[in-house]
Amino acid sequence: MDWSTIVEFFTKRGRPLSKDEILKLKEEDRREKEAVDAKNRAEEDAERRRNNRIVGDLEEEEDFEAFELRQKAEQTVKDQEQAEYDKKHGNNAND
């Protein structure tokens, strides 16, 4: 905010602003800006936490899917080994 414009506006509209009034306006402006900044930071933190939670949920899903795939792969390997053993030793399960 351009304080020289505000001071000029009040000076043209009536009495000039005192230094205390100017400082008070500047301080009020600073407090408002800090409040807005704090609100924005809180919203960003909430969004970041929400995103982290979503990413964590996705990672858990991926971990579970990877576990399932590992289990299926291990079972496939066991089945193939059993089939090879049966073929090699003449123990066909299809007989």
Domain spans, the chain: 39-90
Cβ contact 60:67 at 8 Å? no
Task: Dump pLDDT digits (tens) for 6-38.
Answer: 666 666 566 777 788 878 888 988 999 999 999
C-alpha 4/C-alpha 9 separation (Å) is 8
> Distance between CA atoms of 4 and 25, rounded to whole angstroms?
12
Helices (H) and strands (E) in the chain, counts: 2, 0
- Alpha-carbon distance of 22 to 26, in angstroms, equals 6
Q: Model pTM?
A: 0.45
Residue-wise pLDDT for 46-73, tens only, equals 998 888 887 777 677 777 777 788 888 8
